[in-house]
Structure 1
Amino acid sequence: MSEPDNQLSAEQSRQIAELIREEIARRRMSRQALAEQAKLSLSTLEKALGGRRPFTLATTVRLEQALGVALRKAPDSAPVAPLVNGDIAPDSLGAYSRRAVAWLEGTYITLRPSFGDKEAIYAYRTEIAWDAKATSLIFREGERQDAAYTQWGEVAVPNQSGFIYLVTNRNGQHRLITVSRPTISGEMYGIITTLLAGRGSLLTPIAAPIAFLPIKNVANPSVGRISSSDANYALYRQHLRRTTEEPFALFLPG
């Protein structure tokens, strides 16, 4: 039976800590530098090296990738090959492995209310895929009628909340989408929090329901501003209403 949270044994942790200390001394690098390269907090690294907490498999893999050496040994002392570089997302995004989130990858039709016409629905495509350079899932929007506002960014999948976060950060300006884990048929529902562009440079915070439908679930997807005359309008409206009717998200009155 595996250790809780993939924790390594006390003896394995002791051996790994010794190897890491040797590598740090040999390379004349600081623990802070190693923590940054491995995308770990300095506190996590210090506690593990000091024996105050065991190493986990995920932490060990990150340290192997940062140092370029195998820290784990098989019983016959043969080195165990580390995971392929880029298989673990940063702690700030949930420290998920690529294999654990493969089911999220794909192209979705994204729906939200139109900000310019209260009776219409705004629809566009969103692709979620693994990015080896970022070592995480990323998303990128496409086929937006307002192409100048096309967004892209990182995808956080923390275990604690059970929700998925699509985060855009451009020079400190954020847009956040919070959605549920996919239903059995793959849809995700939640809230988009962004800025509404008004006249001139006027910007106003705005929140609205949002839905992601796997593109394979829509026979002939429509994009752009969808009015009641569009063949997909009823389907799109049904999914947007599901966000608040089930509810996947709540909007409280002021």
Structure 2
Amino acid sequence: MPTPDTQLSAEQSRQVAETIREEIARRRISRQALAEQAKLSLSTLEKVLGGRRPFTLATTVRLEQALGVSLRKTPDLPVAAPPANGDVAPDGLGAYSRRAVGWIEGTYVTIRPSFGDKEAIFAYRTEIAWDAAASSLVFHESERQDAAYTQYGEVAVPNQSGHIYLVTNRHGQHRLITVARPTISGEMYGIITTLLAGRGSLLTPIAAPIAYLPIKMVSGPTLGRISPNDANYAAYRQHLRRTIDEPFAMFLPG
């Protein structure tokens, strides 16, 4: 089993460095900001990106957690050995088998109300896939307008509730999305509970309806902040209303 200080090969390090540089450019963040998020020194980050030092497994994992993307794309890259239970998720996620949840895997257009504009809708991409190392479903968000808040985490599918939970846990800080099992056409509807960033360090708990639409069912999906004049606005708004109207989720008055 590889240890945290296992060094990646020269080719693996080159591929990881290239992916990181692409993410930095796409998100328009500085190397200093990335180093702070990954709890690395700027000097270490500069050396590995410049090819003056190989990546270690520990450094790669820290950068993956900071960026919310997988940097280990080659089959022979060292990863943690899969759990002994193989294709069965841990009990804490519902003890589901991979075969039992294969129909959830896929790429979704994710929509929720914009927290900053009452008339707008916030849309981005979410991929749900099986992670052999974790022996469970995981999710990764991408193409968010606020890229710094991109989330990734585990997917729980317990039999008892009949719901699916997308859980982010970063140093004890949680974001939870609870959705009903997919409809016959594949959509999932539910509630997101998270923290709204305000001025300075102010964070306020907030909940809102959320919908996951299989990307194949959305013709010409648009992402980002969707305004009323967008071609997909009416359809997106209808899906959000369906969350409450059917209801897949309920919001009680105070």
TM-score bracket, shorter-length normalisation: 0.5 to 0.7
Q: Is the 8 A contact 1:86 1:133 kept in 2?
A: no
Q: Summarize the alignment of residues 100-115 of structure 1 with structure 2, pairs less than 5 Å apart.
A: 100-115=100-115
Shift of 1:86: 2.4
User: Which residue of the partner structure matches residue 185 of structure 1?
Assistant: 185
User: Which residue of the partner structure matches residue 123 of structure 1?
Assistant: 123
Counterparts of 2:86 and 2:147 in 1: how far apart (Å)?
31
Specify every segment of 5 or more residues in structure 1 that has no aligned partner in the other structure, as ranges. 1-64, 67-84
Q: Summarize the alignment of residues 119-158 of structure 1 with structure 2, pairs less than 5 Å apart.
A: 119-158=119-158
Shift of 1:183: 0.2
Q: Are residues 1:174 and 2:147 paired? A: no
Counterparts of 1:194 and 1:203 in 2: how far apart (Å)?
10
Shift of 1:115: 0.3
Counterparts of 1:169 and 1:181 in 2: how far apart (Å)?
22
Specify every segment of 5 or more residues in structure 2 that has no aligned partner in the other structure, as ranges. 1-82
Secondary structure of the equivalent of 2:221?
Answer: coil
Counterparts of 2:86 and 2:129 in 1: how far apart (Å)?
13
What count of residue pairs does the alignment treat as equivalent?
Answer: 172
Counterparts of 1:134 and 1:124 in 2: how far apart (Å)?
25
CA RMSD of aligned residues (A): 0.8
User: Which residue of the partner structure matches residue 19 of structure 1?
Assistant: none
| 1:98-142 CA distance string (max 9 Å, x none) | 000000000000000000000000000000000000000000000
Which has the higher relative contact order, 1 or 2, with Cα contacts under 8 A spaced 6 or more apart?
2
User: Which residue of the partner structure matches residue 225 of structure 1?
Assistant: 225
Secondary structure of the equivalent of 1:210?
Answer: strand
Letter in 1 for 2:249: A
| 1:49-93 CA distance string (max 9 Å, x none) | xxxxxxxxxxxxxxxx74xxxxxxxxxxxxxxxxxx620000000
User: Which residue of the partner structure matches residue 246 of structure 2?
Assistant: 246
Counterparts of 1:252 and 1:86 in 2: how far apart (Å)?
42
Letter in 2 for 1:94: G
Q: Is the 8 A contact 1:96 1:157 kept in 2?
A: yes
Counterparts of 1:127 and 1:86 in 2: how far apart (Å)?
22
Counterparts of 1:149 and 1:179 in 2: how far apart (Å)?
20
TM-score when normalising by structure 2 = 0.67
Instruction: Provide the identity percentage.
Output: 83
Counterparts of 2:126 and 2:249 in 1: how far apart (Å)?
20
Runs of 4+ in 1 over 6 A off after TM superposition: none
User: Which residue of the partner structure matches residue 200 of structure 1?
Assistant: 200
Letter in 2 for 1:213: L
Q: Is the 8 A contact 1:123 1:224 kept in 2?
A: yes
Secondary structure of the equivalent of 2:250?
Answer: coil
Counterparts of 2:170 and 2:134 in 1: how far apart (Å)?
16
Letter in 2 for 1:99: R
Counterparts of 2:217 and 2:250 in 1: how far apart (Å)?
25
TM-score when normalising by structure 1 = 0.67
Secondary structure of the equivalent of 1:148?
Answer: helix
